[in-house]
Amino acid sequence: MDTTRWKSILVPRQTYIEIKELSKAEGRTIGGQLRLVFDWYKAAGGAENDRAKEGLIKTPALHDSDN
């Protein structure tokens, strides 16, 4: 395997099974499905929204009363 281009990731078995089934149903490879899910996560604000929900950063959408 060309490790400059590809990497393995470890996920819980049930997560793998669900991603595999979803990717097959939608006509994608597992890698393609993971890429799509990650794109959705980034579009939704990703880790920045996670940190805001935990109170680690302030965003207008989550902390309107602080403005």
pLDDT tens string 14-26: 999 999 999 999 9
Please state the pTM of the whole predicted model.
Answer: 0.58
Q: What is the pLDDT of residues 27-62, one digit of tens each?
A: 999 999 989 988 988 888 877 766 666 666 555 555
Q: Which residues contact 61 (CB under 8 A, 6 or more apart)?
A: 52
* Strand segments (E) across the chain: none
- Closest C-alpha to 52, from 62, 42, 44, 66: 62
